[in-house]
């Protein structure tokens, strides 16, 4: 067990690293401040430890848009669908270019890589690893 000061220091480093990752991902995808705000709100609604998680779990967009339809205005729903298509177009399960990783509804339906499928939200059981 770590002493309190070391544990607090580790939490601060993790928080800073996640914030830096978030900023880097947003810049790489050229997201506007309003798109960033929308993703932060979505992550908070989902209870995600960091909004950066949204870049790695396309299924969160589908779940959010289907589980929270009454809370979303048509404009916000359209904006989230646009962001999802911007982030996940052309990504297959192996992370390689593919004709489309979007379903008929315009939402992503595949994860960029199997390793990222192991990420879970607070209160969720972690997914079981795929058997080889």
Whether residue 83 contacts residue 35, with contact meaning beta carbons closer than 8 Å, is answered with yes
pLDDT in tens, 77-101: 899 999 998 888 766 544 433 334 4
Helix (H/G/I), strand (E/B), else coil: 58: coil
Model pTM greater than 0.85? no
What Cα–Cα distance (Å) separates residue 9 from each residue in 3, 16, 50? 10, 11, 18
- Spell out the domain ranges in the chain: 4-118
CA of residue 78 relative to chain centroid, distance: 17
pLDDT more than 70, % of the chain: 64
pLDDT in tens, 101-117: 445 555 554 444 444 44
Cα separation, 109 vs 95, whole angstroms: 13
The mean pLDDT of 29-35, rounded to a whole number, is 94
């Amino acid at each position: 067990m770590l002493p309190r000061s070391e544990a607090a220091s580790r939490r601060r480093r993790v928080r800073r690293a996640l914030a830096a990752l978030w900023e880097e991902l947003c810049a790489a995808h050229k997201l506007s401040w309003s798109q960033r705000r929308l993703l932060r709100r979505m992550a908070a609604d989902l209870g995600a430890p960091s909004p950066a998680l949204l870049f790695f779990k396309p299924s969160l967009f589908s779940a959010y848009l289907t589980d929270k339809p009454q809370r979303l205005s048509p404009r916000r729903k359209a904006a989230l669908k646009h962001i999802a298509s911007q982030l996940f177009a052309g990504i297959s399960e192996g992370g390689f270019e593919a004709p489309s990783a979007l379903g008929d509804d315009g939402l992503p339906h595949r994860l960029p890589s199997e390793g990222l499928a192991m990420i879970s939200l607070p209160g969720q059981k972690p997914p079981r690893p795929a058997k080889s």
